[in-house]
Structure 1
Amino acid sequence: MDEEGYAGLYFRDVRVITGTPVADARGVMLWEQKAAAWVANHSANEAEFEELAKAAEGIDADGEIEDLEALADLPATLAEDQHCLWGLDLGVSGLSHVLSALGFYPVASCRSHLAHSWSPEPVVLFASDEDRLRLLQPFIAESGCGLGLDSSRGHTLVVVYAPSIVEMLALTASIFDARASFRSLPKTARKQSQPDEVVVAAPEEGRPTLF
Protein backbone atom coordinates (compact mmCIF):
# COMPACT_ATOMS: atom_id res chain seq x y z
CA MET A 1 0.00 0.00 0.00
CA ASP A 2 1.06 3.57 -0.60
CA GLU A 3 -0.55 7.02 -0.53
CA GLU A 4 -2.67 6.03 -3.51
CA GLY A 5 -4.14 2.96 -1.85
CA TYR A 6 -3.24 -0.54 -2.94
CA ALA A 7 -0.33 -0.45 -5.40
CA GLY A 8 -0.98 -1.97 -8.80
CA LEU A 9 -4.78 -1.66 -8.71
CA TYR A 10 -4.88 1.70 -10.51
CA PHE A 11 -7.69 3.36 -8.60
CA ARG A 12 -7.38 7.15 -8.63
CA ASP A 13 -7.92 9.67 -5.84
CA VAL A 14 -7.96 7.15 -3.01
CA ARG A 15 -6.48 6.86 0.45
CA VAL A 16 -5.58 3.90 2.62
CA ILE A 17 -8.27 3.07 5.20
CA THR A 18 -7.07 0.43 7.66
CA GLY A 19 -7.54 -0.09 11.38
CA THR A 20 -10.18 2.61 11.78
CA PRO A 21 -10.99 3.06 15.50
CA VAL A 22 -14.46 1.74 16.34
CA ALA A 23 -15.57 5.13 17.68
CA ASP A 24 -14.60 6.83 14.43
CA ALA A 25 -16.33 4.19 12.32
CA ARG A 26 -19.49 4.62 14.41
CA GLY A 27 -19.33 8.39 13.95
CA VAL A 28 -19.06 8.09 10.17
CA MET A 29 -21.88 5.54 10.07
CA LEU A 30 -24.28 7.67 12.12
CA TRP A 31 -23.41 10.87 10.22
CA GLU A 32 -23.99 9.08 6.92
CA GLN A 33 -27.36 7.73 8.07
CA LYS A 34 -28.55 11.23 8.97
CA ALA A 35 -27.14 12.78 5.81
CA ALA A 36 -28.63 10.11 3.54
CA ALA A 37 -32.07 10.54 5.11
CA TRP A 38 -31.89 14.32 4.70
CA VAL A 39 -30.74 14.10 1.08
CA ALA A 40 -33.47 11.60 0.19
CA ASN A 41 -36.19 13.67 1.87
CA HIS A 42 -35.13 16.78 -0.04
CA SER A 43 -34.85 15.10 -3.46
CA ALA A 44 -37.69 14.86 -5.94
CA ASN A 45 -35.70 12.90 -8.52
CA GLU A 46 -32.31 11.29 -9.15
CA ALA A 47 -30.77 14.50 -10.45
CA GLU A 48 -31.61 16.37 -7.25
CA PHE A 49 -30.38 13.44 -5.18
CA GLU A 50 -27.06 13.49 -7.03
CA GLU A 51 -26.66 17.24 -6.48
CA LEU A 52 -27.37 17.08 -2.75
CA ALA A 53 -25.32 13.93 -2.23
CA LYS A 54 -22.29 15.58 -3.83
CA ALA A 55 -22.80 18.62 -1.62
CA ALA A 56 -22.97 16.45 1.50
CA GLU A 57 -19.78 14.73 0.41
CA GLY A 58 -18.09 18.13 0.38
CA ILE A 59 -18.61 18.76 4.11
CA ASP A 60 -15.45 18.32 6.14
CA ALA A 61 -14.96 17.39 9.80
CA ASP A 62 -14.82 21.06 10.82
CA GLY A 63 -18.30 21.66 9.44
CA GLU A 64 -16.98 23.61 6.45
CA ILE A 65 -19.47 23.33 3.58
CA GLU A 66 -18.27 23.75 -0.01
CA ASP A 67 -21.74 24.11 -1.53
CA LEU A 68 -23.64 26.40 0.85
CA GLU A 69 -26.45 27.07 -1.62
CA ALA A 70 -27.28 23.39 -2.16
CA LEU A 71 -27.23 22.66 1.58
CA ALA A 72 -28.93 25.80 2.83
CA ASP A 73 -31.47 23.76 4.80
CA LEU A 74 -28.98 21.27 6.22
CA PRO A 75 -29.70 20.48 9.88
CA ALA A 76 -27.28 22.16 12.25
CA THR A 77 -26.60 18.80 13.89
CA LEU A 78 -24.88 17.66 10.69
CA ALA A 79 -22.94 20.84 10.06
CA GLU A 80 -21.74 20.96 13.67
CA ASP A 81 -20.91 17.27 13.96
CA GLN A 82 -17.18 16.52 13.95
CA HIS A 83 -17.73 13.52 11.69
CA CYS A 84 -18.17 13.46 7.92
CA LEU A 85 -17.72 11.08 4.98
CA TRP A 86 -13.96 11.71 4.81
CA GLY A 87 -13.93 12.14 1.05
CA LEU A 88 -15.88 8.98 0.20
CA ASP A 89 -19.30 8.76 -1.43
CA LEU A 90 -22.54 8.99 0.51
CA GLY A 91 -23.86 5.48 1.07
CA VAL A 92 -20.54 3.63 0.94
CA SER A 93 -18.33 5.63 3.28
CA GLY A 94 -19.87 4.15 6.41
CA LEU A 95 -19.46 0.59 5.17
CA SER A 96 -15.85 1.24 4.14
CA HIS A 97 -14.92 2.61 7.57
CA VAL A 98 -16.85 -0.06 9.52
CA LEU A 99 -15.22 -2.82 7.46
CA SER A 100 -11.85 -1.26 8.26
CA ALA A 101 -12.66 -1.23 11.98
CA LEU A 102 -13.61 -4.92 11.84
CA GLY A 103 -10.35 -6.11 10.28
CA PHE A 104 -11.13 -5.90 6.57
CA TYR A 105 -9.08 -3.88 4.07
CA PRO A 106 -11.21 -1.50 1.95
CA VAL A 107 -9.74 -0.84 -1.48
CA ALA A 108 -12.28 1.26 -3.40
CA SER A 109 -15.92 2.31 -3.29
CA CYS A 110 -18.56 4.07 -5.37
CA ARG A 111 -22.23 4.84 -4.74
CA SER A 112 -22.86 5.01 -8.53
CA HIS A 113 -23.44 8.33 -10.27
CA LEU A 114 -25.72 9.54 -13.04
CA ALA A 115 -22.71 10.35 -15.23
CA HIS A 116 -19.04 9.36 -15.38
CA SER A 117 -19.41 6.55 -12.85
CA TRP A 118 -16.96 3.65 -12.81
CA SER A 119 -19.61 1.42 -11.25
CA PRO A 120 -23.25 1.00 -12.40
CA GLU A 121 -24.32 0.18 -8.83
CA PRO A 122 -23.18 1.00 -5.29
CA VAL A 123 -20.07 -1.07 -4.51
CA VAL A 124 -17.31 -1.49 -1.95
CA LEU A 125 -14.24 -3.52 -2.92
CA PHE A 126 -12.05 -4.93 -0.17
CA ALA A 127 -9.57 -7.62 0.83
CA SER A 128 -10.33 -10.09 3.59
CA ASP A 129 -9.15 -13.23 5.31
CA GLU A 130 -11.32 -16.31 4.98
CA ASP A 131 -12.73 -16.36 8.51
CA ARG A 132 -14.01 -12.78 8.31
CA LEU A 133 -15.45 -13.41 4.87
CA ARG A 134 -17.41 -16.43 6.07
CA LEU A 135 -18.74 -14.45 9.03
CA LEU A 136 -19.76 -11.60 6.73
CA GLN A 137 -21.78 -13.65 4.25
CA PRO A 138 -25.05 -14.02 6.24
CA PHE A 139 -25.14 -10.27 6.87
CA ILE A 140 -24.77 -9.66 3.12
CA ALA A 141 -27.73 -11.90 2.32
CA GLU A 142 -29.94 -10.45 5.07
CA SER A 143 -29.32 -6.87 3.96
CA GLY A 144 -30.31 -7.44 0.34
CA CYS A 145 -26.79 -6.87 -0.97
CA GLY A 146 -24.75 -9.18 -3.19
CA LEU A 147 -21.25 -10.55 -2.70
CA GLY A 148 -18.75 -11.69 -5.28
CA LEU A 149 -15.15 -11.69 -6.44
CA ASP A 150 -13.52 -9.18 -8.79
CA SER A 151 -10.27 -10.06 -10.57
CA SER A 152 -10.48 -7.42 -13.30
CA ARG A 153 -7.43 -5.51 -12.02
CA GLY A 154 -5.03 -8.40 -11.74
CA HIS A 155 -5.72 -9.16 -8.07
CA THR A 156 -8.72 -10.94 -6.61
CA LEU A 157 -10.81 -8.62 -4.45
CA VAL A 158 -14.12 -9.15 -2.70
CA VAL A 159 -16.93 -6.86 -3.82
CA VAL A 160 -20.15 -5.97 -2.02
CA TYR A 161 -22.79 -4.51 -4.33
CA ALA A 162 -26.39 -3.42 -3.89
CA PRO A 163 -29.41 -2.12 -5.82
CA SER A 164 -29.23 1.13 -3.83
CA ILE A 165 -27.44 2.74 -0.91
CA VAL A 166 -30.40 1.79 1.31
CA GLU A 167 -29.16 -1.81 1.41
CA MET A 168 -25.59 -0.60 1.96
CA LEU A 169 -26.68 1.43 4.99
CA ALA A 170 -28.55 -1.57 6.39
CA LEU A 171 -25.50 -3.80 5.97
CA THR A 172 -23.27 -1.22 7.66
CA ALA A 173 -25.52 -1.04 10.71
CA SER A 174 -25.93 -4.80 11.02
CA ILE A 175 -22.23 -5.66 10.94
CA PHE A 176 -21.40 -2.80 13.28
CA ASP A 177 -23.90 -4.20 15.79
CA ALA A 178 -22.10 -7.56 15.49
CA ARG A 179 -18.63 -5.99 15.73
CA ALA A 180 -17.60 -8.07 18.73
CA SER A 181 -17.77 -11.26 16.66
CA PHE A 182 -15.55 -9.82 13.94
CA ARG A 183 -13.08 -8.22 16.31
CA SER A 184 -12.64 -11.47 18.25
CA LEU A 185 -11.08 -13.08 15.17
CA PRO A 186 -7.28 -13.05 14.95
CA LYS A 187 -5.68 -10.53 12.65
CA THR A 188 -4.64 -11.75 9.23
CA ALA A 189 -1.11 -13.13 9.55
CA ARG A 190 -0.63 -15.26 6.46
CA LYS A 191 -1.31 -15.28 2.74
CA GLN A 192 -4.89 -16.34 2.14
CA SER A 193 -6.05 -18.65 -0.62
CA GLN A 194 -9.03 -17.66 -2.73
CA PRO A 195 -12.26 -18.99 -1.16
CA ASP A 196 -14.06 -21.67 -3.17
CA GLU A 197 -17.38 -19.85 -3.03
CA VAL A 198 -18.40 -16.44 -1.75
CA VAL A 199 -21.37 -15.61 -3.97
CA VAL A 200 -24.69 -15.31 -2.15
CA ALA A 201 -28.14 -14.40 -3.43
CA ALA A 202 -27.71 -11.30 -5.56
CA PRO A 203 -30.02 -8.28 -5.51
CA GLU A 204 -32.41 -7.66 -8.35
CA GLU A 205 -30.72 -7.03 -11.68
CA GLY A 206 -30.91 -3.71 -13.49
CA ARG A 207 -29.90 -0.12 -12.92
CA PRO A 208 -30.06 0.60 -9.19
CA THR A 209 -32.22 3.31 -7.76
CA LEU A 210 -30.29 5.89 -5.75
CA PHE A 211 -32.92 6.71 -3.12
Structure 2
Amino acid sequence: MIPRIDVKVDPSFPEGVPMCMPEEDEISEEGYGFFRGVWDISGVTHEEARAIVEEERGLAHLVDQVSADPEEFEDVARAVERGDPDCLPDGFEDRHPGSEILEIVGDGDREEGVLDGLEIGVAGLSFALSSIGCFPAASCRSHASGRSWSDRPVVYFAAERLTVHWLTPMVRDSGCGFGNGSDRGALLFVEAPSITNLMDLANQILNTVERQSYNR
Protein backbone atom coordinates (compact mmCIF):
# COMPACT_ATOMS: atom_id res chain seq x y z
CA MET A 1 0.00 0.00 0.00
CA ILE A 2 1.67 3.18 -1.20
CA PRO A 3 1.08 5.88 1.47
CA ARG A 4 -1.07 8.87 0.62
CA ILE A 5 -1.70 11.91 2.81
CA ASP A 6 -4.45 14.51 2.72
CA VAL A 7 -2.65 17.67 1.67
CA LYS A 8 -3.48 20.56 -0.65
CA VAL A 9 -0.81 21.44 -3.19
CA ASP A 10 -0.47 24.53 -5.37
CA PRO A 11 0.52 23.70 -8.97
CA SER A 12 0.62 27.32 -10.14
CA PHE A 13 3.86 28.96 -11.28
CA PRO A 14 5.70 29.89 -8.05
CA GLU A 15 5.96 33.68 -8.29
CA GLY A 16 8.36 35.31 -5.86
CA VAL A 17 10.60 32.27 -5.50
CA PRO A 18 14.27 32.83 -6.45
CA MET A 19 15.04 30.88 -9.62
CA CYS A 20 18.65 30.42 -10.61
CA MET A 21 21.34 27.78 -10.51
CA PRO A 22 23.85 27.77 -7.64
CA GLU A 23 27.36 29.00 -8.29
CA GLU A 24 30.11 26.37 -8.38
CA ASP A 25 31.67 27.62 -5.15
CA GLU A 26 28.29 27.26 -3.40
CA ILE A 27 28.21 23.50 -4.02
CA SER A 28 30.19 21.30 -1.67
CA GLU A 29 30.69 17.55 -1.48
CA GLU A 30 27.38 17.47 0.41
CA GLY A 31 25.54 19.42 -2.24
CA TYR A 32 23.73 22.70 -1.71
CA GLY A 33 21.11 24.04 0.67
CA PHE A 34 22.34 23.00 4.15
CA PHE A 35 20.88 19.48 3.94
CA ARG A 36 22.52 16.49 5.60
CA GLY A 37 23.31 13.20 3.91
CA VAL A 38 23.03 14.51 0.34
CA TRP A 39 25.36 14.53 -2.63
CA ASP A 40 25.69 16.11 -6.06
CA ILE A 41 23.75 14.31 -8.80
CA SER A 42 23.88 17.09 -11.39
CA GLY A 43 24.63 16.41 -15.04
CA VAL A 44 22.50 13.26 -15.38
CA THR A 45 21.85 12.13 -18.96
CA HIS A 46 18.38 11.40 -20.30
CA GLU A 47 19.25 7.72 -20.58
CA GLU A 48 20.46 7.56 -16.98
CA ALA A 49 17.29 9.28 -15.79
CA ARG A 50 15.09 6.90 -17.78
CA ALA A 51 16.86 3.89 -16.27
CA ILE A 52 16.29 5.18 -12.71
CA VAL A 53 12.64 6.05 -13.42
CA GLU A 54 11.96 2.55 -14.75
CA GLU A 55 13.84 0.88 -11.89
CA GLU A 56 11.93 2.96 -9.36
CA ARG A 57 8.52 2.14 -10.86
CA GLY A 58 9.32 -1.55 -10.74
CA LEU A 59 10.49 -1.43 -7.14
CA ALA A 60 7.54 0.68 -5.98
CA HIS A 61 5.14 -1.79 -7.59
CA LEU A 62 6.80 -4.76 -5.91
CA VAL A 63 6.77 -3.08 -2.50
CA ASP A 64 3.16 -2.00 -2.96
CA GLN A 65 2.08 -5.57 -3.74
CA VAL A 66 3.34 -6.95 -0.42
CA SER A 67 2.40 -4.04 1.86
CA ALA A 68 -0.92 -3.99 3.70
CA ASP A 69 -0.49 -0.50 5.20
CA PRO A 70 1.84 2.53 5.09
CA GLU A 71 3.99 1.15 7.91
CA GLU A 72 4.66 -2.08 6.01
CA PHE A 73 5.40 -0.12 2.86
CA GLU A 74 8.01 1.89 4.74
CA ASP A 75 9.62 -1.20 6.28
CA VAL A 76 9.82 -3.11 3.00
CA ALA A 77 11.01 -0.05 1.04
CA ARG A 78 13.77 0.55 3.59
CA ALA A 79 14.84 -3.09 3.39
CA VAL A 80 15.03 -2.86 -0.41
CA GLU A 81 16.98 0.39 -0.34
CA ARG A 82 19.47 -0.75 2.29
CA GLY A 83 19.70 -4.40 1.33
CA ASP A 84 18.88 -5.18 4.95
CA PRO A 85 16.57 -8.15 5.66
CA ASP A 86 16.30 -7.05 9.30
CA CYS A 87 14.17 -4.11 8.13
CA LEU A 88 11.49 -6.41 6.73
CA PRO A 89 8.28 -6.79 8.78
CA ASP A 90 8.10 -9.75 11.13
CA GLY A 91 7.07 -12.94 9.33
CA PHE A 92 7.56 -11.41 5.87
CA GLU A 93 9.43 -14.40 4.41
CA ASP A 94 6.78 -16.84 5.65
CA ARG A 95 3.95 -14.75 4.19
CA HIS A 96 5.72 -14.03 0.88
CA PRO A 97 8.06 -16.99 0.28
CA GLY A 98 8.28 -16.44 -3.48
CA SER A 99 8.47 -12.66 -3.48
CA GLU A 100 11.08 -11.01 -5.67
CA ILE A 101 11.60 -8.62 -2.75
CA LEU A 102 13.56 -11.32 -0.89
CA GLU A 103 15.96 -11.70 -3.80
CA ILE A 104 16.44 -7.93 -4.12
CA VAL A 105 17.04 -7.44 -0.39
CA GLY A 106 19.42 -10.38 -0.17
CA ASP A 107 21.07 -11.61 2.99
CA GLY A 108 22.46 -8.30 4.20
CA ASP A 109 25.66 -8.54 2.20
CA ARG A 110 24.46 -7.03 -1.08
CA GLU A 111 27.25 -5.42 -3.11
CA GLU A 112 25.13 -3.17 -5.32
CA GLY A 113 22.51 -0.72 -4.11
CA VAL A 114 19.35 0.42 -5.84
CA LEU A 115 18.41 3.80 -7.32
CA ASP A 116 21.94 5.18 -6.85
CA GLY A 117 21.30 5.45 -3.11
CA LEU A 118 18.15 7.59 -3.31
CA GLU A 119 14.73 6.67 -1.90
CA ILE A 120 11.95 4.88 -3.73
CA GLY A 121 9.46 7.51 -4.85
CA VAL A 122 11.79 10.51 -5.14
CA ALA A 123 14.80 9.08 -6.99
CA GLY A 124 13.17 9.17 -10.41
CA LEU A 125 12.10 12.81 -10.14
CA SER A 126 15.51 13.83 -8.80
CA PHE A 127 17.20 12.23 -11.80
CA ALA A 128 14.62 13.55 -14.27
CA LEU A 129 15.11 17.11 -12.97
CA SER A 130 18.88 16.76 -13.21
CA SER A 131 18.58 15.55 -16.80
CA ILE A 132 16.83 18.78 -17.86
CA GLY A 133 19.43 21.03 -16.26
CA CYS A 134 18.05 21.50 -12.74
CA PHE A 135 20.07 20.96 -9.57
CA PRO A 136 18.39 18.50 -7.16
CA ALA A 137 19.35 19.49 -3.62
CA ALA A 138 17.47 17.02 -1.40
CA SER A 139 14.52 14.67 -1.41
CA CYS A 140 12.33 12.71 0.99
CA ARG A 141 9.42 10.38 0.28
CA SER A 142 8.12 11.02 3.86
CA HIS A 143 8.34 8.14 6.30
CA ALA A 144 5.56 6.51 8.27
CA SER A 145 8.06 5.68 11.01
CA GLY A 146 7.99 9.24 12.37
CA ARG A 147 11.70 9.75 11.59
CA SER A 148 10.95 11.90 8.57
CA TRP A 149 12.24 15.42 7.98
CA SER A 150 9.31 16.06 5.63
CA ASP A 151 5.65 15.29 6.32
CA ARG A 152 4.97 14.81 2.60
CA PRO A 153 6.91 13.52 -0.43
CA VAL A 154 9.15 16.32 -1.64
CA VAL A 155 12.10 17.12 -3.92
CA TYR A 156 14.06 20.36 -3.43
CA PHE A 157 15.87 21.74 -6.48
CA ALA A 158 17.35 24.82 -8.13
CA ALA A 159 16.28 25.80 -11.64
CA GLU A 160 16.16 28.66 -14.10
CA ARG A 161 12.86 30.50 -14.53
CA LEU A 162 12.27 29.24 -18.08
CA THR A 163 12.69 25.65 -16.93
CA VAL A 164 10.13 26.15 -14.16
CA HIS A 165 7.68 27.62 -16.70
CA TRP A 166 8.21 24.51 -18.83
CA LEU A 167 7.63 22.25 -15.83
CA THR A 168 4.49 23.98 -14.55
CA PRO A 169 1.82 22.21 -16.68
CA MET A 170 3.36 18.83 -15.90
CA VAL A 171 3.42 19.59 -12.18
CA ARG A 172 -0.28 20.41 -12.39
CA ASP A 173 -1.24 17.39 -14.52
CA SER A 174 0.57 14.97 -12.21
CA GLY A 175 -1.20 16.23 -9.10
CA CYS A 176 1.91 17.84 -7.63
CA GLY A 177 2.55 21.37 -6.43
CA PHE A 178 5.37 23.87 -6.00
CA GLY A 179 6.70 25.31 -2.75
CA ASN A 180 9.19 27.99 -1.70
CA GLY A 181 12.47 26.57 -0.42
CA SER A 182 14.36 29.87 -0.31
CA ASP A 183 15.04 29.56 3.41
CA ARG A 184 17.80 27.17 2.32
CA GLY A 185 19.08 29.11 -0.70
CA ALA A 186 17.84 29.73 -4.22
CA LEU A 187 15.60 26.67 -4.07
CA LEU A 188 12.03 25.67 -4.71
CA PHE A 189 10.48 22.28 -4.25
CA VAL A 190 7.89 19.96 -5.73
CA GLU A 191 5.56 18.30 -3.22
CA ALA A 192 2.74 15.80 -3.57
CA PRO A 193 0.19 13.76 -1.60
CA SER A 194 1.92 10.55 -2.67
CA ILE A 195 5.10 9.30 -4.30
CA THR A 196 2.80 8.07 -7.08
CA ASN A 197 2.36 11.70 -8.15
CA LEU A 198 6.10 12.36 -8.09
CA MET A 199 6.81 9.23 -10.12
CA ASP A 200 4.17 10.31 -12.64
CA LEU A 201 5.82 13.74 -12.91
CA ALA A 202 9.22 12.17 -13.52
CA ASN A 203 7.78 10.06 -16.31
CA GLN A 204 5.99 13.05 -17.85
CA ILE A 205 9.23 15.05 -17.90
CA LEU A 206 11.12 12.33 -19.74
CA ASN A 207 8.25 11.60 -22.13
CA THR A 208 7.95 15.31 -23.00
CA VAL A 209 11.69 15.58 -23.67
CA GLU A 210 11.51 12.53 -25.93
CA ARG A 211 8.53 13.92 -27.88
CA GLN A 212 10.15 17.31 -28.32
CA SER A 213 13.41 15.73 -29.48
CA TYR A 214 11.52 13.51 -31.96
CA ASN A 215 9.61 16.47 -33.42
CA ARG A 216 12.66 18.62 -34.07
Q: Please, what TM-score do these two structures have when normalized by structure 2?
A: 0.73
1:18/1:133 CA distance change after superposition, 3 Å:
same
Residue matched to 2:6: none
Q: Which structure shows the bigger proportion of residues in helix conformation?
A: 2
The CA RMSD over aligned residues, in Å, is 2.5
Which residue of 112, 132, 142 maps to 2:142?
Answer: 112
Structure exhibiting the larger radius of gyration computed from Cα positions: 2
Partner-residue secondary structure (3-state), 1:86: helix
* CA displacement at 1:54 relative to structure 2: 0.6
1:77/1:143 CA distance change after superposition, 3 Å:
farther
Which residue of 168, 177, 183 maps to 1:152?
Answer: 183
Question: Greater RCO between the two (CA within 8 Å, min separation 6)?
Answer: 2
Contact in 2 for aligned 1:122/1:164 (Cα 8 Å): yes
- List alignment gaps of at least 5 residues for structure 2: 1-26, 94-98, 106-111
- List alignment gaps of at least 5 residues for structure 1: 59-64, 184-211
Contact in 1 for aligned 2:124/2:202 (Cα 8 Å): yes
Residue matched to 1:45: 69
Matches within 5 A, 1:1-211: 1-6=27-32, 9-58=33-82, 65-67=83-85, 70=88, 73-74=99-100, 84-114=114-144, 115-153=146-184, 155-180=185-210
Query: What is the percentage of aligned positions where both structures have the same residue?
Result: 38
Alignment-mate amino acid for residue 71 of structure 2: A
Partner-residue secondary structure (3-state), 1:178: helix
Looking at structure 2, the residues matched to 182 and 107 of structure 1 have their Cα atoms a distance apart, in angstroms, of 26
Partner-residue secondary structure (3-state), 1:109: strand
Partner-residue secondary structure (3-state), 1:117: coil
Deviates more, 1:16-25 or 1:122-131: 16-25
Partner-residue secondary structure (3-state), 2:42: coil
Looking at structure 1, the residues matched to 47 and 204 of structure 2 have their Cα atoms a distance apart, in angstroms, of 16
